[in-house]
Structure 1
Amino acid sequence: MNKQPIGLFDSGIGGTSIWKEVVKLLPNENTIYLADSKNAPYGEKTSEEIVALAIKNTEILISKGCKLIIVACNTATTNAISYLRKHYNVPFIGIEPAIKPAVLFSKTGAIGILATKGTLSSKLFEKTTKEYAKNSTTIEQEGTGLVPLIEAGKLNSQEITQLLEKYLKPMLIYNIDHLVLGCTHYPYLIPQIKKIVGKNVKIIDSGEAVAKQTKAILEKHCLNSEIKNSKPHKFYVNVDETVLRNILNNVSEDFVIESINF
Structure 2
Amino acid sequence: MNVALIDSGLGSLPTAAHLRRLRPSLDLHLYLDPDNAPWGPKPTAWTEAHVVETARRAVDGGAEVVVLPCNTASVIALDATRAALGSTPVVGTVPAIKPAALQCDSITVWATAATTASSYQARLIAEFASGRTVSAVACHGLADAIDRGDLASISAAIASAAARTPDDVQGIVLGCTHYPLVADEIMAALPPGVRMFDSAEAVAAQTLRRLDEVSSPREGHGSVSVTLSGRDGSLPDSAVRFAAGRSLAVPATL
Q: Same fold (TM over 0.5)?
A: yes
Aligned: 1:133 with 2:129: yes
Q: What residue in structure 2 maps to residue 163 of structure 1? A: 157
Match of 2:53 in 1: 56
Partner residue in 2 for 1:198: 191
Match of 1:172 among 145, 166, 190: 166
Q: 1:73 aligns with which of 70, 75, 82?
A: 70
1:223 Cα offset (Å) = 5.2
> Match for 1:88: what amino acid?
L
Q: Which residue of 2 aligns with 1:19?
A: 16
CA contact (8 A) 2:171 2:196 kept: yes
Change (3 A) 1:47 1:137: farther
Distance 1:144 1:46, change over 3 A: farther
Q: Tell me, what secondary structure is at the counterpart of 1:193?
A: helix
Aligned: 1:210 with 2:203: yes
Q: Percent identity?
A: 25
Structure 1-normalised TM-score? Answer: 0.84
Aligned to 2:182: 189
DSSP 3-state at the match of 1:24 = helix
Letter in 2 for 1:237: L
SS in structure 2 opposite 1:53? helix
In 1, are the aligned partners of 2:17 and 2:245 still within 8 Å (CA)? no
Q: 5+ unaligned residues in a row in structure 2: which ranges?
A: none
Amino acid at match of 1:27: P
CA distance in 1, matches of 2:189, 2:216: 43
RMSD (Å), alpha carbons: 2.3
Alpha-carbon spacing, 1:46–1:140, altered in 2? closer, same or farther (3 Å): farther
One of 102, 111, 116 as aligned partner of 2:112: 116
Relative to 1, partners in 2 of residues 1:39 and 1:223: Cα closer, same or farther, differing over 3 Å? Answer: farther
Deviations 1:210-258 (A, max 9, x none): 1111111122343545x4x325221122489322355566214128xxx
Where does structure 1 lack aligned partners over 5 or more consecutive residues?
256-262
Count of equivalent residues: 245
The TM-score with structure 2 as length reference comes to 0.87
Q: Cα distance, 1:142 vs. partner?
A: 2.2
Q: CA deviation at 1:102?
A: 0.4
Q: Which residue of 2 aligns with 1:147?
A: 143
Find the aligned partners of 2:241 and 2:142 in 1 and give their Cα distance: 18
From 247, 250, 253, the equivalent of 1:251 is: 247
Residues 66-107 of structure 1 show CA distances to partners (whole Å, capped at 9, x for unaligned) of 11100011111122112211222111111110001100010x
Distance 1:249 1:163, change over 3 A: closer
Q: In structure 2, do the counterparts of structure 1 residues 61 and 114 end up closer, same or farther at CA, with 3 Å as the change threshold? A: same
